Structure 1
């Protein structure tokens, strides 16, 4: 296995592990890759048990030259001219700590990341305002929703990772087919939402034994980026899928060779999710405990002082509209098409579903989400 393949395998395993642990009745969208690279960056400064715990949770125990692998993967993913993918990781460190020059240099080398020095201890609100303003400026206003609860007087080190994607569908959803329709929540409550519609030839798979259907929605002309919508047959079936999904299943469900091209009518709700998640408790449940402990953390390669990780904040914005993940100005007209054929089947995502966005050349999972209510 090459270094790049090892990194992708680690990311995809980490994605599934997160999916199993993320329990919520709210809409969720995560970029596991941004979180993984952020934690791999912290792992550069970890030693002994703190390091071994982190590597186990991140699935990088047996990976050699792991940091160059992340650098190569991020370079491959961000060089496309068909979409814009921006992933950034920043460490915000309490100003009373002396950060190792070696750590600063290698974090720039492998992750193009800088450490921001802030006054958590004496001015927590000002530190939070600095973080929000810094994020707003660096991400052109995409992220402004970081909670004030993120920081307090005891905060020592906060890792903030951000991700956003600009991409257009290969086949856009004609605006003329968007209509208000009923969406059934997992509680069986009915609500109205804007549903987008399109007819065309798409990859689809129906798995009767597992009571779900999967549709593939590609982006761009090259279709290197694809969204997979995993829709349970029942309105309340998403929780069972989420808790029981395995690495092997996720790879199988996102394998185009297991799908069948079909002339189909698709209905998908318009949605926009702006998420800000504190991942500390989730990562603890996954087995990464010492790095968050004031008495057990060993980040001596970052600072010789008693430094521990206060939190990991994952900020992601995701929008699915008629154009794609976010509206992008295009010279192409939104062309519908006439067909004398009737659709062979209908895929109607009118109840909670899972979605995954994957880079096809590397098979790397970029985004994982749950859409549970409009």
Structure 2
């Protein structure tokens, strides 16, 4: 019997509605802790960095744009974990870094406050159960009480097509129709016991609208580029939170959020063409150091418009990261049905993002210590030039809680997949990956 998990996320631009403040806020450092919710933030952000590295270092994704929502994946993982037992539960807990205490986990999710008065943010969980197989009342109660999961029984055996349509319609309605037909005809069949869905939709406008820029060459490789439409902010106001590590420029661009912006896009732009310099920063400790180092600066910004759509079949990625048993017939999800009779058949994640002058719409390690990297000599008193004309990493965060809602890399804003036949230089060596993360090395 099979369990299918789907996650969807969508980001969208809207017209600017606010006026920039002199000092744009950035993601707060929450290492001091805010109880149960902080444990969920820490777990989510750690998983976000690890999954990003696993995707980016997978040869199958080499040179491609990346975009996903770690929060939808971890939320769906938490619903799955609630029904897992034994080794199955341990592997899920370890990969998502969930707290050992069920109370802390549940209170963490119920305590998450991601409401933003200036942006639109929808999140929804769904449990779609085969009506022929009863699930434990305790599991359904926990799913609804602590995760707000919508629970519905469907006839997968006799009405698989109709059931699929119901679920796809539910997902589309919660992502403003940006994520459609996520489940294929083969995703639902008589053997399917349960489908867990999680969707997130974010629509935010820049606190200060960008102006239309000129067409510019974006270097996707040292000697290969594509023409893209740029947008820009080159006036003296507003000031943006900015820092420079020596190898990477870091800029925070806030979205409108009532009296105080809570959502922002954090951009990691390598000074050279190699994305690996930015990847080195993707740890919780390094991001915390970056946040502490950021200061309001006058920044001249040249930024490409882009649109990315991605879809990931996650089982192989998660297996490489250590979550193996849940996908086998040795899986123990007896917390769902009272016996060991189901396993995870697939985990599907689909994401969409569009960035333009108005804002953003989205629907989804060997660490270089940063201590001592931040020095005034890297940040001149004159205007900073932030020209995003080559690959970069971006994170969309709620700075109040510190949680990473979306993460991605843009290798080609036009969406084209570069050909590996056109490389004219020896590729830069990727950073060493910490033991235990298993970034697709044999």
Aligned match for 1:225, one of 263, 272, 278: 263
Q: Which residue of 2 aligns with 1:242?
A: 279
Residue in 2 aligned with 1:18? 51
Q: Aligned residue for 1:184?
A: 219
- Specify the alignment match of 1:68 in structure 2: 107
2:36 corresponds in structure 1 to 3
Match of 2:395 among 344, 353, 356: 356
Tell me the residue number matched to 1:169. 206
Task: Give 1:145-160 correspondences, 5 Å limit.
Answer: 145-146=181-182, 148=184, 151=187, 153=189, 155-160=192-197
Alignment length (residue pairs):
349
SS in 1 for 2:226: strand
| CA RMSD, 1 decimal | 2.5
Q: Rate the CA distance shift 1:244–1:65 in 2: closer, same or farther, 3 A.
A: closer
Secondary structure of the 1:65 match is helix
Deviation at 1:127, TM superposition (A): 4.3
Q: Secondary structure at the match of 2:401?
A: coil
**Who is 1:291 aligned against?**
326
CA 1:248/1:150 → structure 2, altered by over 3 Å: closer, same or farther?
farther
More relative contact order, 1 or 2 (CA 8 Å, 6+ apart): 2
- The answer to whether the 8 A contact 1:197-1:267 is kept is yes
The answer to whether the Cα contact below 8 Å between 2:161 and 2:185 also exists between their aligned partners in 1 is no
Answer whether contact 1:60 1:66 (CA < 8 A) is retained.
Answer: yes
Gaps of 5+ in 1: 328-341
Matches within 5 A, 1:1-374: 1=33, 2-23=35-56, 24=61, 25-63=63-101, 64-73=103-112, 76-78=113-115, 80-118=116-154, 125-146=161-182, 148=184, 151=187, 153=189, 155-174=192-211, 177-186=212-221, 188-199=223-234, 200=237, 201-208=239-246, 211-220=247-256, 221-235=259-273, 237-239=274-276, 241-242=278-279, 245-253=282-290, 255=291, 257-293=292-328, 295-305=329-339, 306-326=341-361, 344-373=383-412, 374=414
1:182 is paired with a residue of what secondary structure? strand
How far the C-alpha of 1:131 sits from its partner, in A, is 2.7
Aligned equivalents of 1:107, 1:347: Cα separation in 2: 45
In structure 2, do the counterparts of structure 1 residues 138 and 355 end up closer, same or farther at CA, with 3 Å as the change threshold? closer
Contact 1:159–1:313 (CA under 8 A) maintained in structure 2: no
The unaligned stretches of length 5 or more in structure 2 are 1-32, 363-380, 415-442
Distance across 1 between alignment mates of 2:137 and 2:84: 15
SS at the partner of 1:26?
Answer: coil
Deviation at 1:50, TM superposition (A): 0.9
2: CA distance between counterparts of 1:351 and 1:120? Answer: 47
The alpha carbon displacement at 1:86 in A equals 1.4
Query: 1:280-331 CA distances to partner (integer Å, 9 max, x unpaired)?
Result: 22222221111111x211111111351112222223332211111139xxxx
Q: Residues 59 and 140 from structure 1, CA distance in 2 versus in 1: closer, same or farther, beyond 3 angstroms?
A: same
Distance change (3 Å), C-alpha of 1:47 and 1:224: same
Shift >6 Å, 4+ stretches: none
